[in-house]
Amino acid sequence: MKKTFKLLLSAAILFSATLTANAQLLKKENFSVPDPMHFGVRGGVNFNTFTHYETYAFPTAGVALDYQLTPTAPIFIGTGLSYVNYVLADGRELDEYQSTLHIPVTLSYHINVAPHLFINPFAGFFGAYYLHTTFDKSLNYGFRIGCGMNFKRLTFDVAYDAGLASHKQWESEGLKSSTVFLTVGFNFVGKR
């Protein structure tokens, strides 16, 4: 829990430090605030593991939406829906695939670093529903932290999800998920 608290505290410090830096950038010519809403598709790869198990890579795909909370600052609330696969594998014949619907909710701050180019650190939470599972529970939840880069309608994101739900399967107890996402996307609505 200490590690999670330190991670969130670091994200909050980074987030607040960018507020003053972005205020200076917005005064320059050719720099702008992004459109107040963005909606598009995302696809990429996730690298996931559970406590004491190996890490595997799987494709992921979904949709994303973010909306500006206030017209005076580029602070956005974001969410989406993704299809994510997990696997429990430790070299035995009992390897199990877990499929989930993943819903994150994050706050992000969009920093304009060049014309039409934004960097947006974000932090928040996620919830996941297991469509197919042999776990004792069908829900997962936890913290999400990451950073994105947006150029016009294109997006590139890196995110880390730390699962807090403790699952039980086979002889293993206390299984918690840990996932890194690398995604590319295109916004049909809204551009930078």
pLDDT recorded at residue 2:
52
Tokens 């980074």: give the residue: 14
pLDDT band at 44 (very low <50, low <70, confident <90, very high): very high
Both tokens assigned to 3: 């590690």
What pLDDT, in 10s, does the model give residues 127-146?
999 887 766 677 889 999 99
pLDDT of residue 11 exceeding 60: no
Within 13 Å, how many C-alpha atoms sit on residue 157's CB side?
31
What are the backbone dihedrals phi and psi of residue 152, each rounded to the nearest 5 degrees, phi first? 50, -115
pTM: 0.78
* Cα–Cα dist 93/61, whole Å: 28
pLDDT recorded at residue 191:
75
Closest CA to 68 of 99, 108, 100: 108
112 CB contacts (<8 Å, ≥6 apart)? 22, 25, 26, 31, 32, 33, 34, 74, 118, 192
Tokens 């107890």: give the residue: 173
Average pLDDT over residues 151-179: 83
Q: What is the CA radius of gyration of the chain?
A: 18
* Cα–Cα dist 97/87, whole Å: 4
What pLDDT, in 10s, does the model give residues 59-92?
999 999 999 998 888 999 999 999 988 776 655 5
